[in-house]
Amino acid sequence: MYAGQKSRKTIDLVLNTFIPEYEKLNLDYASRLDDENYIFKTEDEMINYLIENTGLDQTFYWNKNYDNPDKIMVGAIITADDKLIMSLTIDGTEETESKYFEKLKNLLNSDIGVISYINPADYDNGQDFITKYGQNSST
């Protein structure tokens, strides 16, 4: 689901809505552009680096192994054109899928999204995502 300009506030909103008390990312999940060997000291430092620097792209996925009956995984895709796409991966029925899709749409106040099965959605950057999936298509 398209979430607009990249924003830590939006990432936190989706995480705390769908998987509160999520598992923190490994600190070597991403690297700095100027130093691939740099290990971030905190998850906040890592996410903020990607938010504060332009032209970078990175995908993050958070899990929660307990108290998560639909096995929701939250994804934050920061695109090279500084947009943010939020995703939910779930284990559920079409009814469960519809419920979470609508909840994510409403939370992000967005009508640009896609439901995909097996293969992730295919797009080059944030603008390409908007162009391809602005009509709430399914793949």
pLDDT in tens, 26-55: 998 998 988 989 999 999 999 999 999 999
Query: Which residue range forms the structural domain that includes residue 51?
Result: 2-138
Q: What pTM was estimated for this model as a whole?
A: 0.84
Query: Which amino acid, 68?
Result: N
Helix (H, G, I), strand (E, B) or coil at 72: coil
* Rounded Cα–Cα distance for residues 130 and 4 (Å): 10
Beta strand extents in 6-113 (DSSP E only): 58-62, 73-78, 83-89
Distance CA 129, CA 107 (A): 19
Q: Which two tokens stand for residue 37?
A: 């060997």
Query: Domain count of the chain?
Result: 1
Query: Residues 46-98: pLDDT tens digits?
Result: 999 999 999 999 999 999 999 999 999 999 999 999 999 999 999 878 898 99
Which CA distances in Å does 91 have to 20, 50, 79?
Answer: 18, 29, 26
How many helical (H) and strand (E) elements, i.e. helices and strands, does the chain have?
4, 6
